[in-house]
Amino acid sequence: MRKPMHMLTKEIANEIVKETSIRLHRNVNIMNTEGIIIATQDKSRIGSIHNGAIEVLKSGKTLTIHEDENNNWEGSQPGVNLPIVFLEQIIGVIGITGDPDEMGSVGELVKMTTELMIRQEFMDLQMEWKQRTKETIIEQLLKSDASVTSIDQSLSLLGLHLRPPFTTTVIQITKRSVPNRTLVQKIEEIIGLKNGIVSFVNVNRIFITIFGIEEKESVEMIEDIYTLLKKQNVISRMAYSLPFSTLDTFSQSYKDCDITLKTSDPDSDIVSFAQIEAKALIYQVDERLAERFSHRVLNGFDENKARTLEAFFVNDLNIQKTANDLYVHRNTLIYRLNKIIEDTGYDPRKFKDALILQVALWLFQKAEKNDS
């Protein structure tokens, strides 16, 4: 972060001159802590010493220069010169050219406006610095060989301390019009600044870690975040991990959320890893073994059979519910199930056979996604 005396940059000074000169219809000069003019409408004066400013820097008081006193202050013109104060330090001087007797309270008003602009710039910089620090922490957490010492050092800069239990949440955004900073701030308001870290990990994905909060309350927070996103017209899906207690699990928890988003129903807006944990195991199976198993079990399977089987499992092997979901007659569904038995040798109405078919179906769907 910049020190107070470094807050008065040429960029900010030029912005102040531009904004105030337009409104006052007067020339405004900005001088740094050495009394050098760094911004003014009169470009010929940039870089020159303003002796009136040097006096203000020494005394800390406003200096008024009248026409008949002009020769006493080399490099100065008639007008009012006021100290620019930020965090109780004089960081520069603002000078308004003209007859001091005609200005009234204009000088103090310009001084106040200038200090407000600098304060706002400082707050913006502070927010940017904090967010960059959070991004650094998240990058470190997601490394498989995360350095606890390095993470603790970054956390201490923000006055944070990670404490278990931890929950990782990933938000995948499809459509939004809300700026990054606004979205992060609103999510942080729900979690609490001391209870989590929120940051974008890419243009359409937000990473959230909630810490020191029990699972039930964490889930409530996640649901509140989703409600917030809907109100902000953000189209998204969310996945959250199992609770965990060690920093070296963050990397895996993020992968779990990623798999959850990939394997769960696209129409499900909030999904926990616990809901798809069994299915997630499929992603850890050797690809050659997986392909051999699915090809053997689902011999000659096509999309229609896969859709029928998936609907049957989603509806807990209930024939009538499945028929309703597929918009087919009950007898049509029974015919399809019998055809699956004939083709595979496994009866999806029997538990053990259904289990084999379910695993094979998951492997089949995974292969389809990889090919697409």
pLDDT of 372: 60
Measured between alpha carbons, how far is 107 from 110 in angstroms, rounded to an integer? Answer: 5
Determine the pLDDT at residue 156.
Answer: 87
- Model-level pTM? 0.72
pLDDT of residue 162: 87
pLDDT of residue 19: 85
Instruction: Walk along the chain (372 residues) in steps of 10 and give the mean pLDDT of each run.
Output: 68 89 85 93 89 92 84 78 92 90 82 89 88 90 82 87 94 94 94 93 95 95 96 96 93 95 92 94 87 88 90 95 95 94 93 94 84 63
Domains by residue range for the chain, with CATH: 4-125 (3.30.450.40), 142-281 (3.30.70.270), 285-371 (1.10.10.2840)
Q: Give the pLDDT confidence score for residue 5 in this predicted structure.
A: 57
String of b and e for 53-88 (b: at least 16 CB within 10 Å)?
Answer: bbbbbeeeeebebeeeeeeebebbbbbbbbbbbbee
Closest by CA position to 336, among listed 368, 363, 307: 307
Range 197-204 contact pairs with CB under 8 angstroms and sequence separation of 24 or more: 197/134, 197/137, 197/138, 197/160, 198/134, 199/131, 199/134, 199/135, 199/138, 200/135, 201/138, 201/142, 204/172, 204/173, 204/174
Report the pLDDT value the prediction gives residue 293, as an integer from 0 to 100.
92
pLDDT of the residue at 371: 66
Dihedral sign for Cα atoms in the order 188, 191, 196, 202: negative
- The dihedral over CA atoms of 249, 250, 256, 257, expressed in degrees to the nearest 10, equals 160
